[in-house]
Amino acid sequence: MNSKSRESGFILVVVLWILAALAALAASYLVYVDNAAFATQVNDDRIRIRNAISSGVELTAYQLLAASDEARPPQGAFTVRLARSTISVSFVSESARIDLNAAPKELLEGLFAAIGATRPQAASFADRIVGWRNKAAPAGQTGGEVDAYKDAGLNYAPRQGPFQNVLELPLVLGIPPYIVERVLPLVTIYSGISQIDVRVAPPEVLSALPDMTPERLQNILAQRAQSQQDSQTLLKLLGSAAAFANVTQNPAARVQLQIRLDNGRVARAEVVILLFRDDTEPFRVLSWRDDSDGSF
Give the Cα separation of 115 and 179 in Å (integer). Answer: 8
> Do residues 270 and 254 lie in contact, with contact meaning Cβ atoms separated by under 8 Å?
yes
Q: What is the CATH number of the domain that holds 56?
A: 3.30.1300.30
pLDDT of residue 42: 54
* Successive 10-residue mean pLDDT values, the chain, 296 residues: 57 62 59 46 82 96 91 94 94 98 97 96 97 75 79 94 96 97 98 96 97 94 84 91 93 97 94 91 95 62
pLDDT of residue 171: 97
Q: Is residue 53 part of a domain?
A: yes
Residue 57 domain boundaries:
37-96+250-290
Q: Is residue 219 part of a domain?
A: no
Q: Is residue 279 part of a domain?
A: yes
Q: Is residue 121 part of a domain?
A: no
Give the Cα separation of 79 and 81 in Å (integer). Answer: 7
Q: Is residue 171 part of a domain?
A: no
Q: Is residue 42 part of a domain?
A: yes
Q: Is residue 210 part of a domain?
A: no
Give the Cα separation of 136 and 157 in Å (integer). Answer: 10
Q: Is residue 191 part of a domain?
A: no
Angle between helical axes of 214-226 and 231-238 (0-180°, round to 10): 180
pLDDT of residue 258: 97
pLDDT of residue 38: 43
Number of domains in the chain: 1
